[in-house]
Structure 1
Amino acid sequence: MSAADATAVVVTHNSAGQIVAALTALRQAQVPVRLVDNASTDGTVDLVRRRFPEVTVLASATNTGFATAVNRAAAGVDTDVVLLVNPDCVVTPGTVTELVRVLRDRPSVGIAGPRLTDAHGRVAISAHRFESLATVLASRFGGSLVPVSLRRLLSGRQRRAAYDACVRGAQPVAVDWLSGACLAVRRELFVAIGGLDEGYFLYYEDEELCLQAARHGAEVLYVPSVTAVHTGGASSSDPAWIWPHLYRSMLRFFARHRAGTLRAVRGVVLLRALIGIGLAGARMPLQPRAGTARLRAWTRVGRIAVTRPETRGGA
């Protein structure tokens, strides 16, 4: 395999501000790109068609969700590797080449991903253990109140190992799952799994993909020797839109794979929503716009928490 054995799949939704950098890097890597646009209203489609005529653009009239869009694009891929790239992620030619080489040289590996950094070079924690009630508690109630160093100390050995691999690791290491901002996936594995689970509209489809890869006997490999720059926020920064999708997907994942702790997780989400509603209300006199957006978001999350999560079908 070489970089020519990969096809990049990109999904956009109001991504005009980020997509040029992402596609420029993929052009430099000489990787064909299949892009699905989920009903952008900011001129993303026209921009891509004008600046990158070599890109195959599939424009959707409605926002079908990330997983559905990826599967639509991937259906036309005939290379050995499907390279999933977020529109706010810049992947250098060297990173593409190395990820493809890893899949070529390690038959046991089905998914490989690079170290992710932000625009300032700060490393993102993108390699993880599969989620549990403990990780939900830490992530939803830790935040700035609990220093990262303390959270790391209190976490399990395998979770610490994944954290250390992100921050200071140099050698490839097998992990449970990787952030979907940039993933190289064997096409035959992607097909065998059935693509991304379209029951997730947004979020958790990467963890689900890696879980299904493991069930098919394939390793997920974190490759810290190469990097991709992930700036984040390509589609929306509106919490009233983003947070409900995040928590709905979280509950769906637990309903499917952690049913024994689902009720407790729903309780955690509801408590977090109630705290969020209270903090948003307190914030409104000083920051009415931000407070209103957060109040709307947490109210929607609270409603999701008390609704029985759907384990199959749409979001």
Structure 2
Amino acid sequence: MNETEATAVVVTHNSAAHIADCLTALRRSGAEVRVVDNASRDGTPDLIATAFPEVTLMTNTVNRGFAAAVNQALAGVRTDVVILVNPDCVMPPVTAHALIRTVGTQPQVGIAGPRILGPDGRTAGSAHPFETWFSVLAGRFGGGLLPAGLCRLLGGRQRRRIHDACLEPGRPVAVDWVSGACLAVRTSLLRELGGLDESYFMFYEDEELCLQAWRRGAQVLYVPAVRATHVGGASSAADPTQVWPYLYDSMLRFFARHRRRSHPAVRAVVLLRAAIGIGLALIRLPRHRATALTRARAWSRVARLAATSRTSPPKGQQSCAS
């Protein structure tokens, strides 16, 4: 397969600080590039139009969310493979070519993702098992709220196996899902699925995509021999009152659809985490008033989402085991 038989899709939102590095690497890969800008206010579209005139640029007047923007770009794709790349992710040409080859020449593979490094050069977790309420408990109460050993135990054997596989380059391994920060997917599969699920505004659309791929008999491969570098959160870290509710809304939506028996337990975990977050914010209020108030508002919105979340998957939607 020729590398020009792939289209890279990048969704931007206030991404001016990182998009040039991302697009420079994609330019070297030879792939066609389509960028959808979700109402940036920092000059991102002008920067792209000036420095990367070969890129197909679409601009939205409102932030439509990641999944909807990807689907917007997908409508004009004519290549066999689509690469999804975050604007704060740099994917070397060797990585692009390896992912394109993996998806384009192995009929059983529908999605492939590389080893992802953080800006400090350390391997980040980019391959995962599908979530359970145990993994939510470990993840939401990490960062010092629970001992690291207990978090690892709660994550489960499969999560530990995949975590260990992420640490060193090796042979490709089948995993449940790979990070949407950088992945390649067969275009025909993506179209068969109707694109990304737009009910997820941000977060969990990659896990949903991989779950649906597996259900259609398409493997998801983690390819640790090649890598990409991801800053992480560059388009979304500014305002937790927006980002955190998107994250938890998507989490609760995923469990309502696919792990309905676990949904009440996840709601309880999220409500407890929000209560702790509000309490910690109030404790910090005298010394860090602005930050504490922002965090308290963010956790209050998360609590309201969890309190009103219901288990009502779309008609015909299958569920995973709880």
Which residue in 2 is equivalent to 1:40?
40
Which residue in 2 is equivalent to 1:114?
114
Q: Is the 1:89–1:229 Cα contact (8 Å) retained in structure 2?
A: yes
1:103 CA displacement: 1.5
Which residue in 2 is equivalent to 1:228?
228
1:230 CA displacement: 0.3
| Paired residue secondary structure (2:124) | coil
1:262 CA displacement: 0.8
1:64-75 equivalences in 2 (<5 Å): 64-75=64-75
Which residue in 1 is equivalent to 2:318?
none
Q: Separation in 2 of the partners of 1:247 and 1:199?
A: 13
Q: Does 1:183 align with 2:183?
A: yes
Which residue in 2 is equivalent to 1:244?
245
- Alpha-carbon distance change, 179 to 147 in structure 1, aligned in 2, over 3 angstroms: farther
Q: Is the 1:16–1:43 Cα contact (8 Å) retained in structure 2?
A: yes
| Paired residue secondary structure (1:220) | strand
Q: Is the 1:85–1:181 Cα contact (8 Å) retained in structure 2?
A: yes
Q: Separation in 2 of the partners of 1:2 and 1:192?
A: 23
1:169 CA displacement: 4.5
1:163-312 equivalences in 2 (<5 Å): 163-237=163-237, 238-309=239-310, 311=313
Q: In the alignment, residue 179 of structure 1 is paired with which amino acid?
A: S
Q: Separation in 2 of the partners of 1:148 and 1:32?
A: 43
Q: Deviations over 1:124-180 (max 9, x none)?
A: 011111011111111111223445555334532221111011112511100000110
Q: In the alignment, residue 200 of structure 1 is paired with which amino acid?
A: Y
Q: In the alignment, residue 27 of structure 2 is paired with which amino acid?
A: R
Q: Separation in 2 of the partners of 1:271 and 1:160?
A: 25
Q: Separation in 2 of the partners of 1:4 and 1:78?
A: 11
Which residue in 2 is equivalent to 1:143?
143
1:27 CA displacement: 0.7
Q: Separation in 2 of the partners of 1:110 and 1:266?
A: 32
Q: Separation in 1 of the partners of 2:118 and 2:147?
A: 20
1:312 CA displacement: 5.3
Q: Separation in 1 of the partners of 2:96 and 2:160?
A: 27
| Paired residue secondary structure (1:34) | strand
Q: Deviations over 1:91-117 (max 9, x none)?
A: 000000111111233221100000000
Q: Is the 2:111–2:186 Cα contact (8 Å) retained in structure 1?
A: yes
1:284 CA displacement: 1.5
Q: Is the 1:199–1:312 Cα contact (8 Å) retained in structure 2?
A: no
| Paired residue secondary structure (1:119) | coil
| Paired residue secondary structure (2:82) | strand
Q: In the alignment, residue 288 of structure 1 is paired with which amino acid?
A: R
Give the percent of matched residue pairs that are identical in Structure 1 and Structure 2: 60
Which residue in 1 is equivalent to 2:13?
13
Q: Is the 2:103–2:186 Cα contact (8 Å) retained in structure 1?
A: yes
Q: Separation in 1 of the partners of 2:149 and 2:50?
A: 47
| Paired residue secondary structure (2:144) | helix
Q: Is the 1:95–1:228 Cα contact (8 Å) retained in structure 2?
A: yes
Which residue in 1 is equivalent to 2:132?
132
Q: Is the 1:203–1:245 Cα contact (8 Å) retained in structure 2?
A: yes
- TM-score normalised by the chain length of structure 2: 0.94
- Alpha-carbon distance change, 147 to 221 in structure 1, aligned in 2, over 3 angstroms: farther
5+ unaligned residues in a row in structure 1: which ranges?
none
Kindly tell me the number of residue pairs found equivalent between the two proteins. 313
- Alpha-carbon distance change, 153 to 277 in structure 1, aligned in 2, over 3 angstroms: closer
1:308 CA displacement: 2.8
- TM-score normalised by the chain length of structure 1: 0.96
Which residue in 1 is equivalent to 2:84?
84
| Paired residue secondary structure (1:228) | strand
Q: Separation in 2 of the partners of 1:261 and 1:94?
A: 41
Q: Is the 1:128–1:175 Cα contact (8 Å) retained in structure 2?
A: yes
1:205 CA displacement: 0.2
Residue range with higher mean Cα deviation, 100-109 or 138-147:
138-147
1:181 CA displacement: 0.2
Q: Does 1:23 align with 2:43?
A: no
Q: Is the 2:100–2:184 Cα contact (8 Å) retained in structure 1?
A: yes
5+ unaligned residues in a row in structure 2: which ranges?
316-322
Q: Is the 1:29–1:93 Cα contact (8 Å) retained in structure 2?
A: yes
Q: In the alignment, residue 284 of structure 2 is paired with which amino acid?
A: R
Q: Separation in 2 of the partners of 1:127 and 1:138?
A: 17
Which residue in 1 is equivalent to 2:320?
none
